[in-house]
Amino acid sequence: MGLDRRRTIAVRTPAEFDVRVLGVDPGLGCTGYGLVEGHGGRLRIREAGAIRSQAKAELPERLAQIHDAIAEVLEEFQPHALALEELYSEYDFPRTALLMAHARGAICLAAAKQKIPVWGFPPSEVKNAIVGHGRASKEQVQDMVQRLFKLPQRPTPNDVADALAIAVTGVYRADSAGSMNGGGKNGSHT
């Protein structure tokens, strides 16, 4: 099918963490993903990378590629939730927003097929969780992700850093809700 899933960060150690959230920054050309685990205020990246669909393929084929790659990650790691940034209504480029919505649909379908809850976060909530204020720039978010995980450089492509920020927001929500079996599923759903 021409699937291109590139792992940029991978940790293969026994899982001792309570919460596993897959953050996804959807895009038709490049979808960033990051699996973050949390335990007692500690965070670690289990895996992160980017999924690239074939640029010359038709839209349905590209969506199938994104769906299949996310389904593969979900199957391999069985996260407690999948976290996505919510769409917002003020887009300078409506076509880009529409394509992102298609990608989000393919991602949500992959999660629904595996009965994994999907949590949606407004961009301001992700920025607030990572930087401390909802109007932070993308660069500030990426710098904080780098610092938070003590990475030698910002994760690349930028979609990966964004996905990790979304996953961290999900872990924080799960932690503040108590446990994954209780309040963690009460968040907003996409």
CATH architecture of 4-186: 2-Layer Sandwich (3.30)
Identify the pLDDT of residue 189.
46
Segment holding 107, helix H or strand E:
helix 94-113
- Helix then strand then coil, in percent of the chain rounded to 5, is 45, 25, 35
Identify the pLDDT of residue 108.
98
Identify the pLDDT of residue 9.
66
Task: Give the phi and the psi of residue 181 in degrees, each rounded to 5.
Answer: -80, -20
DSSP state of 189: B
pLDDT (tens place) for every residue of the chain, 190 residues total:
445 666 666 655 555 678 999 999 999 999 999 999 998 889 999 999 999 999 999 999 999 999 999 999 999 999 999 999 888 656 677 888 888 899 999 999 999 999 999 999 999 999 999 999 999 999 999 999 999 999 999 999 999 999 999 999 999 999 777 644 433 333 444 5
Identify the pLDDT of residue 60.
97
pTM of the predicted structure, to 2 decimals:
0.86
What is the rounded CA–CA span in Å between residue 34 and residue 169?
12
Catalytic residues, by residue number, are 25, 85, 159
Residue pointed to by tokens 């990790």: 164
